[in-house]
Amino acid sequence: MMRVVVRRGAGLDVHKKTVVATRLRVGEDERMAWETKTFGTMTTELLELYDWLQEWECTHVAMESTADYWKPVFNLLEGAFEVVLVNAQHVKHVPGRKTDTKDSEWLAELLAHGLLKASFIPPKPQRELREMTRYRGTLVEERARVVNRVQKLLEGMNIKLASVATDVLGRSGRAMLEALVADQLRPAEMAQLARGRMRTKMPELEKALTGVVGPGQRKLLGLQLAHIDFLDEQVETLSAEIARHVQDMDEPPSQGTSDDDSSAAEERPNGDPLPPLGYAQAVALLDTAPGVDKRVAETVLAELGADMRRFPTPEQAAAWSGIAPGNNESGGKRYSGHVRKGNQSLRSALVQAAWSAVRTKDTYLRARYARLVVRRGKKRAIIAIAHSLLKSIWHMLAYHQPYQDLGGDYFDNRRKESKIDYHLRQLHKLGYFTQVEPQPVAG
């Protein structure tokens, strides 16, 4: 007979309009008592479910992560019960299920015997931050799509502004597009709206702004520019709300960094991660890494969290995020593997940060990218940089240490030391023993 771990629990089969619940209790004689009931998913009906579970003094509740239907149930029950959210695929592969067993009964039985592996669900403030940062990402992606529509519309009108201006929606480009919508200036006059270095390209701009533009196309362009303005305003408003939420999420000082955190990290650089920093402190800390700005830092913390005790090693954090390559090895040979499925929002933020990092001069990540891109190509190289960046982020959050760059000359210095060691070994083989000392370079 299997050992009972949870003596009073419940299994929930959550659907869009109904929740099938099975509550279970184990008596002193080790016999199990069951009862199954169906509830609706309105808030008042979920409160009835709450009371029904309390009648049997249930301590644990298990349910599958079905679409988004589990979220309101989880939010309502998490304060009073230990809610175990499980991957449906994991439950499916547990042997021993009878064909006529209801999902809720099977979940309750597995819960009672401790056979369920709980998925990590971050605290409610982090879940709210995650919703906001993900929606901001959606708005930014939508803005990029509208910008592409503007480019396509301009090409259709034979307006070649993109061939001359680096940023069509920059200060100069935007003024020219608005003049194009207003239909009040000739191409030569629109070219006069250029600012800064763009003024050196006046003849090219006049040619680029000469096209065949119909009234309907002007109207479409005006609507698209207004849409971009609306999205910019939405992103700005949401970013301000995210910043306020991050400040509210800060942990009490006793749980954040302390005076001896730095020395503790130095004494055990490879030891257990320290208790988490407050989120505002963590954002400022991550901002020290190349390529990581405030928005990326907020997204990383929303997805990964500030507490690295959840991930014992940086490799586990990389695997969870989907930024680690697959481990494909056979017969002692390692084969190239695709990156794993993981947290798409986190992976996108890390790749974005990686592209920014490799454009930063005199940095280790830029130098490493230059070495990798020759052998692996751009896509694989940038994933490798994102992986390195995530490992650095793990160490920063785990030990409360700012980013320490190895420098753009790291690989050159390492290659120089390797050459010196090689030649010394060759001299030793020939019976010569010498001591090498660096000499000052003549000016």
Q: Which domains does the chain have, with CATH numbers?
A: 8-121 (3.30.420.10), 126-248 (1.10.287), 254-399 (no CATH)
96 — phi, psi (to 5°)? 105, 0
Check whether 258 has a pLDDT greater than 70: no
Q: 183: closest CA among 204, 148, 211, 208?
A: 211
Structure confidence at residue 207 as a pLDDT band (50, 70, 90):
very high
Give residue 264's pLDDT: 42
Q: What is the DSSP string of 51-102?
A: HHHHHTT--EEEEE--TTTHHHHHHHHTTTSEEEEE-HHHHHT-S---TT--
Check whether 66 has a pLDDT greater than 90: no
Mean model confidence pLDDT for the chain: 85
Structure confidence at residue 3 as a pLDDT band (50, 70, 90):
confident
Give residue 328's pLDDT: 47
Give residue 214's pLDDT: 93
- Long-range contacts, 226-234 (Cβ 8 Å, 24+): 227/146, 228/143, 228/146, 228/147, 228/150, 228/169, 231/139, 231/142, 231/143, 231/146, 232/143, 234/139
Whether 184 and 225 have beta carbons less than 8 Å apart is answered as no
Give residue 271's pLDDT: 74
Check whether 70 has a pLDDT greater than 70: yes
What angle do helix axes 378-399 and 364-376 make, rounded to 10 degrees? Answer: 150
Give residue 217's pLDDT: 95
Structure confidence at residue 339 as a pLDDT band (50, 70, 90):
low
Segment 377-401 mean pLDDT: 94
Percent residues over pLDDT 70 in the chain? 87
DSSP letter, residue 431: T
Is residue 281 exposed (0-12), middle (13-18) or buried (19+ Cβ within 10 Å)?
A: middle
Residue 75 vs residues 16, 78, 148, 355: alpha-carbon distances, Å: 16, 6, 39, 37
Check whether 8 has a pLDDT greater than 90: yes
* Cα–Cα dist 110/112, whole Å: 5
Check whether 266 has a pLDDT greater than 50: no
Find the helix or strand (DSSP H, E) in which 414 lies: helix 410-429
Contacts of 127 (CB under 8 A, 6+ apart): 121
Check whether 100 has a pLDDT greater than 50: no
Over residues 105-151, the pLDDT tens digits come to 889 989 998 888 888 888 899 999 999 999 999 999 999 999 999 99
13 — phi, psi (to 5°)? -105, 100
Segment 280-302 mean pLDDT: 95
Structure confidence at residue 340 as a pLDDT band (50, 70, 90):
low
Give residue 272's pLDDT: 82
Question: Pairing between strand 18-26 and 8-14?
Answer: antiparallel
* Cα–Cα dist 397/300, whole Å: 11
